[in-house]
Amino acid sequence: MDVQRKLAILADAAKYDASCASSGTEKRDSSDGKGMGSTAPGMGICHSYAPDGRCISLLKVLLTNACNYDCLYCVNRASSNVPRARFTIDEVVKLTLDFYRRNYIEGLFLSSGIIRSPDYTMEQVVSVARKLREEHHFRGYIHLKTIPEADDALIAEAGKYADRLSINIEMPQETSLQQFAPEKDVRAIRRTMGRLRLKLDEAEEDRSVKTKAKPQRFAPAGQSTQMIVGADSANDHTILHTSANLYGSYRLRRVYYSAFSPIPDASRALPLVQPPLLREHRLYQADWLMRFYGFAVGEIVDDSAMLPLDIDPKLAWALRHRDRFPLDVNRASREELLRVPGFGTKAVERIIATRRTTTIRLSDLARLHVPKHKALPFIVLSDHRPSPHSLDEARLIERFKPKATQLGFGF
């Protein structure tokens, strides 16, 4: 089988994993003239975008799509009829370097079906990274998928070469994983996440203590995970609770939510429907509220345990807490401002800096990049006060709902 055909199969097999970022690692470049590649600590670079709206920053492939496991939601499960392929280590290395040289990608995201044993599979994955780093002095970004319960030495080596390690929690609740992925063990997944966190903590302590010895390197971009949304019956509250626990327990940089989408050669046990993309989007918004806006899980979802689909979760929260509004933009605290619909973290910083010298007025909102229609019912400015009844209006929510004609239009 030629490399192009393998690439088609093994990229297709990898596309259901949503984690693709190339951000948050250490700063590196190749200006010493040895090798190639660079990374920036801040923003990663998205080199292209696919028509599914997702960025392409890494060469995202599986080493092989053969797999011993039979996870029902996975196109690569043992019982699937999809064609199988396997890259050699050198083929992935060459493809990565060739693509990188042409500035198509930021680096490599390598995962694999589990063949022979977890240790064997992990060793193969690590070999690719080792070769890129040690033989070709590749300084670009590398994300490796960790195989649960692989040997500790292999994990340590993976962390030496990779910028980010990830291991997918797969399902928001333990019972679903038992049902859909009988060979996978959520306890083993969490134990591996726990081991990764201990190693990440150690490396961080090493860096903070200045010693002569070179600090051990371990995945400077941390660890991330993915869970599939919409394949099982878990509600949004369960999903967000699981995320909060994962963030707190294992210091994950990101939890990726992947709307379950129909897969070729699907199993009978799963729904074949359009992926719940809007729900996925709302979960990301809720995730943002937890990480950057100081919301607790319990505040984000109401009694129905589902996020509303028609309005964003922050607006939904504000509508449930109308007694806290309207808020005086020129006086409110940062924490309060962060809860105003339409106010992003950057807008809040701009507001706080601006109001030190001047009073913020209605006409300033556009320059602060705040969407007027969303924020106005909730705020007081020196020349604006929402009418006393507007917050009480039962129909206030109607203002924010998308026009009927816009529904169903490519979210």
Partner 1 sequence: MQYITLDSETDFDGWRKTARALVLHHVAPDDVTWAVRGGEADLFAPPAPSPILEVNDGTFSVSSKFIDLAKAAILHRDGERFAILYRLLFRLKDNHDLIDVATDPDVAKITAMARAVHRDEHKMHAFVRFREIGREREPHYVAWFEPEHHIVELAGPFFAKRFADMPWSILTPDLCAHWDGHALSFTPGVSKSEAPGEDRLEETWRRYYASIFNPARLKVKAMQTEMPKKYWRNLPEASIIKPLIEDAERMTGAMIANAATDPHKPQKRPEAPMKRKPATDSLETLREEAAHCRACHLYKDATQTVFGEGPKSANIMLVGEQPGDKEDLAGHPFVGPAGQMLDRALAEAGVDRKKVYVTNAVKHFKFVPRGKIRLHQKPATPEIKACRQWYEREVSAIQPDLIVAMGATAAQSVFGKITPIGKTRGRLIDLPDGRKALVTVHPSYLLRLPDPEAKVVEYQRFVADLKIAASLQRRSSRAA
Residues from 7 through 66 that contact partner 1 (CB under 8 A): 7-9, 11-12, 14-16, 29-38, 43, 45-56, 59-60
292 binds partner 1, rule: CB under 8 A: no
Binding mask 151-180 for partner 1 (x = CB under 8 A): -----------------------x------
267 binds partner 1, rule: CB under 8 A: yes
Q: 333: which 2 tokens? A: 């605290």
Q: Which is nearer to partner 1, 122 or 244 (CB)?
A: 244
Which range touches partner 1 (CB under 8 A), out of 102-110, 203-211, 229-237, 392-400? Answer: 102-110
Write down the least CB distance from residue 70 to partner 1, Å.
6
Write down the least CB distance from residue 101 to partner 1, Å.
7
Which residues lie across from 170 on neighbouring strands? 227
Residues from 332 through 371 that contact partner 1 (CB under 8 A): 350-351, 353-354, 356-358, 360-361, 364, 367-368
Residues from 373 through 402 that contact partner 1 (CB under 8 A): none
Q: Contacts for 10-14 with beta carbons within 8 Å, 24 or more apart?
A: 10/61, 10/62, 10/63, 10/64, 10/65, 10/85, 10/87, 11/60, 11/61, 13/61, 13/62, 13/65, 13/75, 13/76, 13/82, 13/113, 14/60, 14/61, 14/62, 14/109, 14/111
Q: Which is nearer to partner 1, 121 or 243 (CB)?
A: 243
265 binds partner 1, rule: CB under 8 A: yes
Give the residue carrying structure tokens 């700063």.
Answer: 27
Q: Which is nearer to partner 1, 103 or 211 (CB)?
A: 103
Q: Which residues contact 258 (CB under 8 A, 6 or more apart)?
A: 16, 17, 18, 226, 227, 228, 229, 280
- What is the Cα–Cα distance from 352 to 138, expressed in whole angstroms? 43
Which residues lie across from 138 on neighbouring strands? 36
Q: Contact with partner 1 (CB under 8 A): which of 135, 153, 191, 202? A: 191
Write down the least CB distance from residue 358 to partner 1, Å.
6
- What is the Cα–Cα distance from 113 to 75, expressed in whole angstroms? 11
